[in-house]
Homo-oligomer: A and B are copies of this chain.
């Protein structure tokens, strides 16, 4: 079970890093710059969460996240022409990673004895701030605030987790339900182009 979760974690990290590296390449970043953007996309949300919790950032405790991000860089450099064809595959990995990352954020925050509403906020931060930092680094308006359901899928997942533990479901069951729900919301919102209403600007 641990091995399976770890594999999903690496897949999600890989997919998040790929998204950062691809957007950096569109801005003509050099290899190392693209690597940095890939890492920030993959670990930025969890790092902000850990700083807010007062924890040592998770990626400083084992080198696998920097290594997986490095593999993502090599993948993009060497297999550039396959990357576009694999768009749908990456998207699925990304959605799976999103669900997993949010659950990890929620569980870790509860482990630090914070109340559930802080855990929901931290789950949302874990899932969405990597992409926000990526867009800040490449100097674009954050994508996740303007397109298909993304950050609010994390929030919805947090509320689902809350419902699950309020119903006294076992932790593992609650976590699986939450992660699958988030991935499903994300995938369906893109498939059917569902987005939140935009705020109308003042004229």
Q: Which residues of A contact B (CB under 8 A)?
A: 21-22, 24-34, 36-37, 47, 51-52, 54, 56-57, 60, 63, 66, 76-77, 80, 83-84, 114, 117-118, 121, 132, 136-142, 144-146, 151-152, 155, 195-202
Contact = CB atoms under 8 A, between A and B. Distances in A.
Contacts of A84: 202
Contact of A33 (B51, B77, B138, B151): B151
Interface SS majority for chain A: helix
B202 A31 contact: no
A133 to B, nearest CB: 10
B141 A139 contact: yes
8 contacts: A31-B199, A33-B151, A36-B145, A36-B151, A37-B145, A54-B56, A83-B202, A136-B136
Given A25-B201, A33-B144, 14 more contacts: A24-B145, A26-B201, A29-B146, A31-B198, A32-B155, A33-B142, A34-B145, A34-B199, A47-B52, A66-B121, A76-B199, A132-B137, A137-B142, A138-B141
